[in-house]
Structure 1
Amino acid sequence: MAPEPISESAGPAERRLVGVALNPAAPVDVLLRLLADGPPAVRMALARDRVLPGPVVDAIVAHPDGSTRGSFAENPYADPEQRARLVDDPEYRVRGRLAGEPRTDDVCMPRPLPDPTVVRIIETYESDLLWELNRLVSPGLRRAMPTHSSSKVRIMGVNASSWGSLTPEAREALSADPDPDVRDAVAASRHSYERLRDPAAVREALPGHPCHAHTHLLMYGALAPDVVAAALPRHAWLIALNAGLPPETVALLAAHPDPKVRTRVAARPDLGPAERGALAVDPEPAVRLAVSVHPALTEAERAAIDYEVGQDTSYGHSPVYDPESLPGPEDIRPLALSAHPLLRRRAARLPNLPADLVAILADDPDLGVRVLLGQNHPDAPAALLLRCFLEYTGCDRWHLTGHGNFPRTGLARFAGDGDPAVRRLALLDPGMAGDVADRLTRDPDPQVRADAARHPRLPRDRIAALLDDQELARWAAANPALPVATMYALTAAAEQAQS
């Protein structure tokens, strides 16, 4: 990950120190000196943007500067157990950065904090620091929240949306909880849940103007016929997402004049046979495509629909945070073997796709299937990953290179490619010739130049020359081939300049 952009006024000296801070070959004592005496931008890059050895982590956790500790709280490369050491930090801003999601880059995805740390945050942090915490809670802790030994955790685990999924036993226990604050939270959640399922209460609460509450009630509330009739002219697209509609309303929406409404209705699992048949011959291509993947259709019925699957611009990484939410093999196989590309794409996203199906989908004729498989499956083969990178130019393209199976040997052959991203790919090859890396430091693309400046096969005289380059000084200083003696000299020179 690159550090934050350095001010244009920063000179080569500060840029070089940022590079040394990010250099994977920098000795621990150099890193500790930078941490103790480096400028703020250097300390931030060191604390936030790289894997750190244990002694440096110890020094950051004990560092007197809250901004430095806060930068480490956002470090996605650090083990979550290391970041968790900041849970009782005395500064509000550090605790706030720990309670939020860590930063991400093209290949590094955030990992949740340990469950005991999350519990500690819930129990001790100010309430305004908890609004982002839901995204960091592990699936196991989330399921355990309503019955957790901590009353504050139980309160956080009970809300109107979760109340309906609780077992009768759990509801009864929470309603009789010994903590009055938990009982109050339970009463409020139960009240909201029950009102959302009461058509009269929804009618009474429905605002007369568009707003968040208006949208929420139309999408999730129990709607009386008169409420539906009044909202249909302007808000049919919202009502179409409401899972509790009676069949007659679903049929009415399936014949709606707006194709966007019909497209939404086509995805409803409760769509009747008559509506499915009508939408299968809808004049709008998007509607026919939407209904063609309906779970009630057979493969023969899908094949009879005149649909067309386009090549989307984005096939990104879709991390699965709860493995228990994944479908089982009996549900995955029909998707993977379907003639419909969209269903095969659904299967390709699943990290638990069986090995025999991985082999089949790795050679799928659909680009989306191949790329989604490469982006999301832990056993995606090397040949597929490289093919995906070369053929796909959309969102999360570089994420493919972070896969453990992505090939590196032989990539230097792409150094002359017309696509800057593919030339950058060539710089992942550890065996690239030094003269090629040298040439790429003069590439027209700035990211290619930066990657070339830190390639370990770059000749040392070129590395030395780039240390005085305003643009590439930090990347040259981050090159693991930079002599350790030079790292010491750069650090000492900066310390002398400050004294």
Structure 2
Amino acid sequence: MNNTSAPADVLLRLLRQEAAGSWSAFLVRALPDEVVDAIVVHPDRRIRSVLAESYAATGEQRGRLVDDPHFRVRQVLANAPNPFRSSAPSLPLPVQRRLLGDPEPIVRRDAAFYGNFDDRLIAGLCDHEDAFMREASCSCWSLLSEGDRDRLLHDPDDGVRLRARRMACRDDARWTGVLLESGLDASPRQDVIQYGAMTPALAAQIAAGDDAWGRQALALNTRAPLDVVRKLADDPEHSVRLAVSVRPEFTEAERAAIDFTVGPSDRLGPVEWVRTCEDADVLRGCARSSHTWLRRSAAFAEHLPADAVELLSHDDDHAVRLLLCERQPTVDGEVVLQTYLECQVITKSLLLSHRNFPKAGLAERFADDPDRVKRALAVLDPDVDADVLARLLADDDSSVSSAAAGHPALPLDLLLGACDNRDTATSALRNPGLPPEIMHERLDALGVPR
């Protein structure tokens, strides 16, 4: 049940097999310890796996499953929860150590590769008897000693050697050459070219090659020799020219001289050197740039200064404004609201949780608006009047009436009626104002034992 006010006795009823269809809801809500107590010893490993995967439970609560009798539950626990655009609490260090030493190979391997565990623990796997674990230790390259690195670079296992050399090539052009001569598949080859240290001769060889993806990756490699990359400004492939155009060394005039376009609907990941930049003046330059891709990338930057945030909030490119609202917590609330109203992407609802989204006064602004999207926003007003809620609950558009059914200020008689309406029942049953006795009555009607 996604009703955040559902008390422990209701949640305990939902652990019955008759309510198994609701178990996925336990992923997304905080749980009282007494409910966790019941889940940990529950006979059905499916609900134990739900707790193991929960991104709302605390790390300590999830960690109680480290001794679960079924290895599949421990495997789920070993994999870090991955909520969209957010993070989950880490498991306690003793639990991490136990999972990395689990007797089941698949559990410890998933813990090492996907567990989001402490880097020091992962680095400590460099001499593990299991090659998969040694390979995982390569991800913490900076924490390894020279001796550890050398052993991994010459490990008897092919996978370990490849992972170690891909890490080493970022600082040593010798390993970049070795890897590119070894016949890598397309994706790892591009990664090595984009991030590997590069000699002028090797860069020139790639630039003269027939692999357009390789030339694009070379252009994005900020350590590749600039004189070699400049020659790609006239490359026959647009993707290569576009990559050249975002080189950090170029002036605005040099960028404008390159033949490239960025359309409103083009999907482009952030330029790496911009996204990770900590220099406020450099980021200001990106925010002022005529290059749309640089401005979009600046919107991602964690260290974007306030004046650049303000500048980009009025950008002509909708994607710039959307990315800014998604990534910057200081964007003005009215900008977030307008961006939401213009947005067509499936993730637009995430903007509603922006800390500056102007919820106060929305009822007065939008309750009678002809646009159903705006009418639905009126329900977000924490001070909306009961009579306005009643009117919105009776709205002809189901998205509006459903939104009204979930407002905690909805009068009880209207709330109970909404529970019996097909269009509003789901939202009404999630309403935090729903009395626990009504929740129990609903479960009675569904045949869930008390």
Classify the TM-score, shorter chain. Answer: 0.7 to 0.9
Task: Give, in angstroms, the shift of residue 95 of structure 1.
Answer: 1.8
- 2: CA distance, partners of 1:71 / 1:444: 37
Q: Any conservation in 1 of the 2:194–2:220 contact (CA below 8 Å)?
A: no
Matched, 1:70 2:41: no
The corresponding residue for 1:230 is none
Task: Give, in angstroms, the shift of residue 159 of structure 1.
Answer: 2.6
Change (3 A) 1:328 1:199: closer
Change (3 A) 1:494 1:152: farther
Matched, 1:460 2:431: no
- The aligned amino acid for 1:328 is E
Q: Any conservation in 1 of the 2:386–2:411 contact (CA below 8 Å)?
A: yes
- 2: CA distance, partners of 1:89 / 1:41: 22
Match of 2:70 among 91, 106, 121: 91
- 2: CA distance, partners of 1:83 / 1:282: 53
Match of 1:120 among 76, 82, 98: 98
The corresponding residue for 2:252 is 299
Q: Any conservation in 1 of the 2:190–2:217 contact (CA below 8 Å)?
A: no
- 2: CA distance, partners of 1:401 / 1:97: 31
- Secondary structure of 1:159's partner? helix
The corresponding residue for 1:428 is 380
281-290 or 89-98: bigger deviation:
281-290
The corresponding residue for 1:8 is none
Matched, 1:25 2:5: yes
The corresponding residue for 2:186 is 215
244-253 or 83-92: bigger deviation:
244-253
Task: Compare relative contact order (CA 8 Å, sep 6+) and give the higher one, 1 or 2.
Answer: 1
Task: Give, in angstroms, the shift of residue 476 of structure 1.
Answer: 1.8
- 2: CA distance, partners of 1:418 / 1:254: 57
Aligned length: 435
Q: Any conservation in 1 of the 2:141–2:149 contact (CA below 8 Å)?
A: no
- Secondary structure of 2:15's partner? helix
Q: Any conservation in 2 of the 1:370–1:388 contact (CA below 8 Å)?
A: yes
- The aligned amino acid for 1:40 is A
Equivalent residues in 2 for 1:259-274, closer than 5 Å? 263-269=216-222
Structure 2: gaps spanning 5 or more residues: 170-174
The corresponding residue for 1:50 is 29
Change (3 A) 1:268 1:110: same
Equivalent residues in 2 for 1:292-331, closer than 5 Å? 292-305=245-258, 307-312=260-265, 326-329=276-279
- The aligned amino acid for 1:460 is L
- The aligned amino acid for 2:7 is P
The corresponding residue for 1:229 is none
The corresponding residue for 1:142 is 119
- 1: CA distance, partners of 2:355 / 2:11: 28
Equivalent residues in 2 for 1:349-498, closer than 5 Å? 349-412=300-363, 413-415=365-367, 422-438=374-390, 440-441=392-393, 448-470=400-422, 472-493=424-445, 498=449
- Secondary structure of 2:101's partner? helix
Root mean square deviation, CA, Å: 4.4
Match of 1:59 among 15, 38, 56: 38
Task: Give, in angstroms, the shift of residue 475 of structure 1.
Answer: 2.7
Q: Any conservation in 2 of the 1:218–1:242 contact (CA below 8 Å)?
A: no
Task: Give, in angstroms, the shift of residue 384 of structure 1.
Answer: 3.0
Structure 1: gaps spanning 5 or more residues: 1-20, 177-182, 207-212, 222-239
- The aligned amino acid for 1:349 is F
Q: Any conservation in 2 of the 1:408–1:428 contact (CA below 8 Å)?
A: yes
Task: Give, in angstroms, the shift of residue 277 of structure 1.
Answer: 4.7
Task: Give, in angstroms, the shift of residue 375 of structure 1.
Answer: 0.9
- Secondary structure of 1:385's partner? helix
- The aligned amino acid for 1:162 is C
Change (3 A) 1:217 1:327: closer
The corresponding residue for 2:135 is 159
Change (3 A) 1:276 1:47: closer
382-391 or 306-315: bigger deviation:
306-315
- Secondary structure of 1:41's partner? helix
Task: Give, in angstroms, the shift of residue 342 of structure 1.
Answer: 2.2
- 1: CA distance, partners of 2:428 / 2:139: 56
- 1: CA distance, partners of 2:381 / 2:140: 53
Change (3 A) 1:401 1:200: closer
Task: Give, in angstroms, the shift of residue 349 of structure 1.
Answer: 0.7
Q: Any conservation in 2 of the 1:453–1:476 contact (CA below 8 Å)?
A: yes
Measured against aligned partners, the alpha-carbon deviations of 1:353-378 in whole angstroms (never above 9, x if no partner) come to 33443334334443333222221123
Task: Give, in angstroms, the shift of residue 309 of structure 1.
Answer: 3.1
The corresponding residue for 1:34 is 14
The corresponding residue for 2:172 is none
Task: Give, in angstroms, the shift of residue 306 of structure 1.
Answer: 5.1
